[in-house]
């Protein structure tokens, strides 16, 4: 991105930060090819959202790589945003498998962003607490990786839970099936104790479950057909081509974007009250069963029209949608 366009983006970002009705957000992510796509979609909506903080967590790749990728996004798509480094490991699990077989050692497939110089605060939990303390209104948390950071936040700062409006989160599975193991979705598998703790903490979750990403997987041919008019188009195409697909080799299965699209285009989904059961026993850690319940404390996203949603996500990635 040229310096001029960076400067314009920075000015737009600063102007938007003063929008009184902009929704304050904290983002927690483990970029991650689909995290990258989700962050792109969010960066198109800075007039509606005031991103107060972006945090990294270990997950798809080790914390130093997810942090480096987060810095790349701060530099190119969220200039001026505050960022902080999160948890290096899960709460309890020792050496959970990461997903670099899917996302590459770089975490962003063919994009090796390399060392970055964007300033990073050393402790994501302290930074999250600082944002919550100083926010005039409750803050929406958006999580695209394991919930280790959020679990630590609610343990260490229980008095700040009422400053968390809700947590839009890509995690879990409806039916006890998984994508990293037969029984668990990756973000849940990586830190099941964190997920279980956050579910029981009293904060409201809006869940984007694994099934939604599987249902909205986009044919690789559809990505190939999209015109490549600028750097962003090319960035999206290379990210899509870089995923080492495990669900359906003819498609690109991207989970995290449904969390952002659920926020900016809620009319494309039903949000169904539900209960969430997270298994933490060693042999099934991360397995989840999400049951629809009119008295449920949390909500789960369900696509109203899968084909319409797939089309929207693809077009939005190439900046062809007006939100």
The CA distance from 107 to 124, in Å, is 20
- Minimum CB distance to ligand RIB smaller for 50 or for 193: 193
Residues 29, 70 contacting (CB under 8 angstroms): yes
Q: Is 33 in the site for Ca ion (CB under 5 A)?
A: no
210 touches, from ligand RIB, Ca ion, none (C-beta below 5 to 8 Å by class) = ligand RIB
Of 65 and 160, nearer to Ca ion (C-beta) is: 65
Q: How far apart are CA 113 and CA 104, in angstroms?
A: 12
Smallest gap from Cβ 56 to ligand RIB, in A, equals 12
Closest CA to 289 of 163, 132, 184: 184
Number of residues that bind Ca ion (CB under 5 A): 6
Which of Ca ion, ligand RIB, none lies near 130, with the C-beta cut-off 5 to 8 A by kind? none
Q: What residues make contact with ligand RIB under the rule CB under 6 A?
A: 30, 32, 34-35, 59-60, 99, 144-145, 170, 179, 185-187, 210, 255-256
Nearer to Ca ion, 145 or 257 (CB): 145
Please, where are the H alpha helices in the chain?
3-17, 33-43, 63-77, 100-103, 124-134, 148-156, 186-190, 192-199, 210-215, 220-225, 231-242, 257-264, 306-317
Question: For the CA atoms of the chain, what is the radius of gyration?
Answer: 18
209 binds, among ligand RIB, Ca ion, none (CB under 5 to 8 A by kind): none
Candidates 36, 65, 139, 144; binder of Ca ion (CB under 5 A) is: 144
The residue among 35 and 193 lying less far from ligand RIB, judged by its C-beta, is 35
Residue 254 CB, nearest distance to ligand RIB (Å)? Answer: 8
Closest CA to 82 of 59, 50, 112: 50
């Amino acid at each position: 991105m040229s310096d001029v366009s960076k400067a314009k983006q920075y000015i737009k970002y600063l102007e938007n930060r003063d929008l009184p009705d902009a929704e304050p957000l904290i983002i927690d992510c483990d970029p991650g090819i689909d995290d990258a796509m989700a962050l792109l979609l969010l960066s198109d909506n800075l007039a509606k959202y005031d991103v107060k903080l972006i945090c990294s967590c270990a997950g798809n790749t080790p914390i130093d790589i997810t942090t480096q990728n987060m810095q790349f996004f701060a530099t190119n798509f969220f200039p001026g945003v505050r960022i902080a480094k999160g948890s290096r490991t899960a709460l309890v699990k020792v050496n959970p498998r990461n997903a670099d077989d899917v996302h590459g050692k770089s975490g962003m497939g063919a994009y090796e962003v390399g060392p970055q110089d964007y300033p990073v605060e050393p402790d994501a939990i302290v930074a999250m607490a600082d944002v919550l303390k100083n926010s005039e209104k409750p803050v929406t948390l958006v999580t695209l990786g394991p919930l280790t950071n959020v679990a630590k936040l609610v343990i260490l700062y229980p008095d700040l839970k009422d400053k968390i409006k809700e947590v839009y989160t890509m995690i879990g599975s409806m039916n006890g099936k998984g994508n990293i193991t037969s029984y668990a979705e990756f973000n849940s598998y990586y830190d099941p104790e964190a997920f279980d703790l956050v579910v029981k903490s009293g904060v409201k979750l809006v869940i984007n479950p694994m099934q939604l990403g599987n249902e909205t997987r986009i044919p690789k041919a559809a990505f190939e057909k999209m015109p490549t008019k600028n750097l962003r188009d090319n960035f999206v195409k290379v990210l899509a081509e870089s995923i080492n697909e495990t669900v359906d080799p003819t498609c690109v299965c991207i989970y995290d974007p449904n969390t952002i699209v659920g926020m900016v285009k809620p009319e494309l989904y039903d949000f169904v009250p539900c209960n969430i059961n997270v298994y933490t026993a060693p042999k099934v850690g991360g397995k989840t069963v999400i049951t629809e319940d009119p008295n449920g404390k949390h909500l789960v996203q369900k696509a109203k029209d899968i084909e319409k949603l797939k089309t929207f996500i693809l077009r939005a990635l190439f900046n062809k949608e007006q939100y």
